Amino acid sequence: MIITGRSADVPPRDLHDGKTVFHVKKRVLIGPAQGARNYVMRLFTLGKGGMTPYHTHPWEHEVFIVQGKCLIKSGTEEIPVAAGDFAFVPPNEAHQFVNAGDEPLEFICVVPKEGEPTG
């Protein structure tokens, strides 16, 4: 059975901790609850000044920028991307997503199920 839905109908989880994560909300759009066995699709929204933590993990992920401007930080690099762009983050690559604009940044991030244990 094909599952469809609207991202606006999925309640966001506020990840802001005021230490390493600022103005970040996450919606799990597709995961085990929808029958996905291998991958999880998440929609992140970063408000003005928003950023994810600088981190690394053993799984890859694929990212599509839905709206806004983003800097992807990795090592000494700062890679600008914007709406319509995509990025591949290999396993064990240190990275951080930073909202580089005044408007909300939204991006889809797909990870294997071990990358989103709560699904």
- Cα–Cα distance for residue pair 54/94, rounded to 1 Å: 7
Does 14 score more than 60 pLDDT?
Answer: yes
For residue 50, is it within any domain?
Answer: yes
Q: Give residue-wise pLDDT tens across range 43-84.
A: 999 999 999 999 999 999 999 999 999 999 999 999 999 999
Residue span of the structural domain in which 104 resides: 20-114
Question: Averaged over 25-54, what is the pLDDT?
Answer: 97
Question: Averaged over 1-18, what is the pLDDT?
Answer: 96
Domain at 48, CATH number: 2.60.120.10
Phi, psi of 13 (to 5 degrees): -105, 125
For residue 6, is it within any domain?
Answer: no
Q: What percent of the chain has pLDDT over 70?
A: 98
Q: Give residue-wise pLDDT tens across range 63-74.
A: 999 999 999 999
In this prediction, residue 97 carries a pLDDT of 99
Question: Averaged over 22-48, what is the pLDDT?
Answer: 97
Within the chain, what is the greatest distance between any pair of CA atoms?
A: 45
